[in-house]
């Protein structure tokens, strides 16, 4: 048997030869994985790693119900979604049963988060007859032309803000820890920015088509917007005739524990919701959920069709994910284990000055590392080094945010109390060692 470490390097070289260099990857010298089970990934060296980062795999790796159901469907029928078959209506009814409001009564299937956001923007433009969109700074919504235009996550692209098309209008990320506003009225003050931009667009142009935002700022490191922000921002854009888009691609579907949808944790009801990633547990299933009249507006303007979106195998994957979340009580697990994890991380913050803040809720959290708690200077190199040292201890965690200084925690929703303790103990040891080195 070949040396597995050398084999991993060879695999990396093979991948580098065929893959475009701008494709992101984890670690400089990554382990090669050959299987996954529940919250663990197993490398070719036979080592099991605790997967803290893979929020695509919401119901855990290699879930037998998913593998069986999708496998069975692939043996029977998988085809272009223009044909009539049962699986699409099935998954759509299941999704709508979770809709945060009965007014959201229509589902359009897609294959990815980028596609969902692209379609959400098109729907908003068709329904309002306008083109301007208000987006939140430091967000990421996908790579396709429209989704990329409303993404300003710039950590690897110094031109991300300067290169926005003229229809994109940015407001500050509603981050009470780092942004311009903190304190009691922070939610209202960030929302006031949305109101000001919407009012300016109404006065100078035709008014906003939409406001798009992640309900919890996943790409900023799991930052929960200050209370009242989302509901007030939605009211502001609607007052000027625009629609509210909740990008739930990362934080949706029970992950936040307190509610099934991210927007619901903020007491807000969007007009358009995007889901993908975890919706198919890494199988290509995503959707846009909205009101029928909004879909009809797009139908009058042209058409939307994505050949394999909602195809039988993808639709079955989507339905099984929803069933498993319900049957295994994964939203409740996210709430309970998330609370325990948050308390443990807060305990670490009290003992380790490098931890400036613990963000997030449920099983979407962020451990923000700073060199100085007063200046909040980002501990970027430290975050990279701590991630490397955690990998050496069998834990996969990655830095996130513009400053790459937030350790992002978004494991499968099957994550247990013991998993949380394993992670926090390892982080404690690594932080102690790092402080001494």
CB of 141 to ligand PMP, least distance (A): 5
Helix (H, G, I), strand (E, B) or coil at 28: coil
For residue 75, give both structure tokens.
């043996």
Ranges of beta strands (E only) in 225-332 are: 243-247, 272-275, 286-290
What are the CA-CA distances from residue 357 to residues 15, 134, 178, 364, 374 (Å)? 37, 28, 10, 14, 12
Q: How far is the CB of 118 from ligand PMP (least distance, A)?
A: 9
> Of 87, 104, 108, 117, which one interacts with ligand PMP (CB under 6 A)?
117
Q: Which residues from 138-177 bind ligand PMP, rule CB under 6 A? A: 140-142
State in angstroms the smallest separation of the CB of 248 from ligand PMP. 8
Interface positions, 193-222, toward ligand PMP (CB under 6 A): 214, 218-219
Residue nearest to ligand PMP (CB): 113
Distance CA 182, CA 160 (A): 26
Q: Which of residues 76-115 bind ligand PMP (CB under 6 A)?
A: 112-114
Closer of 282 and 337 to ligand PMP (Cβ): 282
* 3-state secondary structure at position 168: strand
Interface mask (CB under 6 A) for ligand PMP, residues 274-293, using x and -? --xx----------------
For residue 220, the number of C-alpha atoms closer than 13 Å in the C-beta half-sphere is 26
* Calpha distance 108→126 (Å, rounded): 15
Nearer to ligand PMP, 112 or 405 (CB): 112
- Listed in sequence order, the DSSP H helices in 246-327 are 262-265, 292-301, 312-327
| Cα gap 78→75, rounded to integer Å | 8
Q: Are strands 406-409 and 398-400 parallel, antiparallel or unpaired?
A: antiparallel
Task: Indicate the residue among 148 and 419 with the shorter CB distance to ligand PMP.
Answer: 148
CB of 115 to ligand PMP, least distance (A): 7
Least distance in Å: CB of 224 to ligand PMP?
15
Exposure class string for 113-134: b at 16+ Cβ within 10 A, else e: bbbbbbbbbbbbbbbbebbbbb
Does position 389 bind ligand PMP by CB under 6 A? no
Residue found under tokens 């709430």: 335
Least Å from the CB of residue 4 to ligand PMP: 30
- Nearest one of 106, 437, 428, 412 to 281, comparing CA atoms: 412
Q: Residue 248 to residues 262, 263, 274, 309: CA-CA distances in angstroms?
A: 7, 8, 5, 18
Q: Which stretch binds ligand PMP (CB under 6 A): 135-143, 190-198, 223-231, 393-401?
A: 135-143
Give the binding-site size for ligand PMP (rule: CB under 6 A). 15
Closest CB to ligand PMP among 136 and 431?
136
Residue that is written with structure tokens 């790459």 in the block: 404
Among 137, 138, 148, 247, binds ligand PMP (CB under 6 A): 247
Least distance in angstroms from the C-beta of 277 to ligand PMP: 5
- Among residues 117 and 232, whose Cβ is nearest to ligand PMP? 117
Closer residue to ligand PMP, CB minimum distance, 189 or 277: 277
The interface region with ligand PMP, picked from 68-76, 197-205, 247-255, 378-386 by CB under 6 A, is: 247-255
Q: How many helices (H) and strands (E) does the chain have?
A: 13, 15
CB of 366 vs ligand PMP, minimal distance in Å:
14
Q: Is 264 helix (H, G, I), strand (E, B) or coil?
A: helix
Q: Kindly list the residues in this chain that would bind ligand PMP in the complex (CB under 6 A).
A: 112-114, 117, 140-142, 214, 218-219, 247, 249-250, 276-277
């Amino acid at each position: 048997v070949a040396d597995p470490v050398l084999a991993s390097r060879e695999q990396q070289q093979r991948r580098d030869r065929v893959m475009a260099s701008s494709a992101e990857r984890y670690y400089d010298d990554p382990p090669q994985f050959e299987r996954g089970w529940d919250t663990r990934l197993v490398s070719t060296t036979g080592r099991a790693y605790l997967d803290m980062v893979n929020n695509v795999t919401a119901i855990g790796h290699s879930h037998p119900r998913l593998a069986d159901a999708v496998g069975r469907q692939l043996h029977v029928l998988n085809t272009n979604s223009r044909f009539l078959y049962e699986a699409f209506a099935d998954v759509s009814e299941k999704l709508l049963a979770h809709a945060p409001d009965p007014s959201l009564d229509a589902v359009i299937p897609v294959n990815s988060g980028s596609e969902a956001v692209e379609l959400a923007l098109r729907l908003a433009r068709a329904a309002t007859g306008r083109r301007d969109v208000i987006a939140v700074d430091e967000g990421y919504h996908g790579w396709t032309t429209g989704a990329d235009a409303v993404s300003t996550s710039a950590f690897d692209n110094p031109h991300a803000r300067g290169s926005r098309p003229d229809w994109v209008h940015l407001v500050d990320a509603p981050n009470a820890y780092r942004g311009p506003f903190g304190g009691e009225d922070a939610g209202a003050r960030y929302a006031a920015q949305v109101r000001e931009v919407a009012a300016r667009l109404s006065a100078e142009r035709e008014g906003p088509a939409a406001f798009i935002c992640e309900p919890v700022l996943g790409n900023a490191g799991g930052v929960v917007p200050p209370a009242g922000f989302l509901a007030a921002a939605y009211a502001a854009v609607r007052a000027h005739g625009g629609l509210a888009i909740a990008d739930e691609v990362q934080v949706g579907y029970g992950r936040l524990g307190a509610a099934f949808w991210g927007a619901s944790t903020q007491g807000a009801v969007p007009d358009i919701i995007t889901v993908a990633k975890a919706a198919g547990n890494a199988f290509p299933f995503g959707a846009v959920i909205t009101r029928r009249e909004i879909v009809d507006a797009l139908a009058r303007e042209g058409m939307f069709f994505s050949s394999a979106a909602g195809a039988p195998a993808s639709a079955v994957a989507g339905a099984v994910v929803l069933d498993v979340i319900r049957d295994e009580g994964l939203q409740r697990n996210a709430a309970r284990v998330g609370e325990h994890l948050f308390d443990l991380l807060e305990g670490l913050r009290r003992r380790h000055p490098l931890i400036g803040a613990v963000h997030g809720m449920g099983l979407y959290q962020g451990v923000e590392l700073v060199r100085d708690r007063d200046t909040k200077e980002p501990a970027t190199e430290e975050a990279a080094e701590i991630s490397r040292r955690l990998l050496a201890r069998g834990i996969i965690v990655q830095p996130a945010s513009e400053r790459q200084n937030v350790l992002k925690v978004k494991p499968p929703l099957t994550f247990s109390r013991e998993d949380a303790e394993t992670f926090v103990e390892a982080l404690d040891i690594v932080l102690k060692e790092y402080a001494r080195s």
